[in-house]
């Protein structure tokens, strides 16, 4: 995410005793909470395990909370039709959250663990896995991984690497996927990365540390910007080459474009033209894009442009993916916890699942240091947990 947060305001959260707020969970197998929605919303069955309060007229019968006698929900790629996303859909193979912390304090290098930066909390991972999410993006800082004194082609810092390995192994030990993300915007030690050779060597060195873990995904670089799309594409190709040459041949690689890898600017930024020629000898890469739903697409405002802006902003990118027979991955999406924004987020996710070309999506963000940041879904009490987690669960 490209924003620098100087002042964030807490959302006032409350749990009604006798009713469930709009977009809250209101039923399903093993559900023990409320089943009556606030006035103006209806408790709608999305699947046997999950009912959600959606805007509309109240139902005439309450939802069931007992197990059905039929077979369990399907685990195939086809998702059932729902009132949120009518028609045939393709279930996401990767669906989860960004777990921030290790990239914090980027002006202090190397920084002090616990003071300038932190690693994600295992309890946060547990919460999301228990709630059915399976993908976690772990941002980290390149200058801490590769100290500027020895540069991109030098040895990795073993202490920082150990921290990354610890949380990665914890995630993958749960059967989930860990996406390792150099969160540097294609800038290292104050200068834009320009050497494809150095970048390829850096990725070969890092990927070598994770090549035996099949549940690791390599995110080549977070949000390059103010760099020509053709230059970024060349660097992404170098990353692919470096990762594969390390012996990491089975894992997915996701690559990002210039202009903060925005889905809504994918064509206008030049990414659409520049990213059609990437080659992976193992044919296992996807295009990662990010999308926020406020007026300037920065993710700094809890006010969304409209309830339909999510689907609108990814439409062009979806068409491009289809035309070029490529897969997409929405590595960051975020918005406010209000009816318009939740509709916009769900509209985006619905259009993605309907298209069949998106592997999945990640919410921005979880992480132990977000405090009152309005998009935080860090459990148990991040400002967005109460409404956003249920809204996302509808797409599992």
Q: Which amino acids are annotated catalytic?
A: 223, 332
Q: 198 to each of 110, 204, 220, 258, 362, how far by Cα in Å?
A: 21, 10, 13, 19, 29
What is the torsion angle, in degrees rounded to the nearest 10, for the CA atoms of residue 126, residue 131, residue 134 and residue 139? -60
Start-to-end CA distance of the chain, whole Å, equals 24
- In sequence order, what DSSP letters do the residues of 149-211 get, joined into one string? TT-TTSPPPHHHHHHHHHHHHHHHHTT-EEEEEE-STTEETTEE---HHHHHHHHHHHHHTTT
Structure token digits, residue 9: 């305001």
Parallel, antiparallel or unpaired: strands 253-256 and 216-219: parallel
- Strand, helix or coil for residue 313: helix
* Dihedral angle computed from the Cα positions of residues 80, 84, 89 and 91, in that order, rounded to the nearest 10 degrees: -80
H/E element, 127:
helix 122-130
Q: Is the backbone of residue 28 left (phi > 0), alpha (psi -120 to 50) or beta?
A: left
């Amino acid at each position: 995410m490209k924003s620098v947060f100087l002042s964030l305001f807490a959302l006032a959260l409350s749990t009604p005793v006798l009713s469930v707020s709009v977009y809250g969970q209101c039923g399903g197998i093993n559900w023990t909470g409320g089943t009556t929605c606030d006035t103006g919303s209806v408790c709608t069955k999305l699947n046997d395990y999950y009912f959600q309060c959606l805007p509309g007229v109240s139902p005439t019968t309450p939802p069931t909370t007992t197990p059905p006698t039929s077979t369990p929900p399907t685990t195939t790629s086809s998702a059932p039709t729902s009132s949120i996303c009518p028609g045939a859909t393709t279930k996401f193979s990767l669906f989860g959250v960004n777990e921030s912390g290790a990239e914090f304090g980027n002006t202090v290098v190397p920084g002090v663990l616990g003071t300038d930066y932190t690693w994600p909390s295992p309890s946060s991972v547990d919460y999301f896995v228990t709630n059915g999410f399976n993908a976690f993006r772990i941002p980290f800082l390149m200058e801490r991984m590769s100290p500027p004194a020895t540069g991109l082609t030098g040895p990795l810092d073993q202490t920082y690497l150990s921290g990354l390995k610890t949380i990665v192994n914890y995630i993958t030990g749960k059967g989930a996927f860990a996406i390792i993300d150099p969160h540097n915007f294609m800038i290292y030690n104050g200068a834009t990365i320009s050497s494809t050779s150095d970048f390829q060597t850096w990725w070969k060195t890092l990927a070598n540390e994770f090549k035996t873990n099949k549940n690791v995904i390599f995110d080549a670089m977070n949000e390059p910007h103010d760099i020509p799309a053709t230059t970024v594409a060349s660097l992404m190709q170098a990353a692919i080459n470096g990762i594969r040459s390390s012996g990491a041949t089975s894992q997915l690689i996701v690559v990002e474009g210039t202009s903060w890898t925005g889905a809504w600017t994918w064509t206008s930024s030049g990414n659409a033209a520049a990213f059609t020629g990437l080659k992976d000898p193992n044919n296992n890469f996807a295009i990662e894009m990010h999308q926020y739903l406020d007026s300037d697409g920065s993710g700094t405002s809890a006010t969304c442009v409209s309830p339909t802006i999510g689907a609108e902003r990814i439409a062009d990118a979806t068409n491009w993916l289809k035309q070029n027979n490529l897969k997409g991955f929405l590595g960051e999406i975020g918005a406010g916890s209000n009816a318009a924004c939740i509709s916009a987020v769900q509209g985006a996710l619905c259009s993605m699942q309907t298209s069949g070309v998106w592997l999945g999506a990640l919410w921005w963000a979880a992480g132990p240091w977000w405090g009152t940041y309005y998009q935080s879904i860090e459990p148990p009490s991040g400002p967005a947990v109460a409404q956003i987690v249920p809204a996302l669960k509808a797409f599992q």
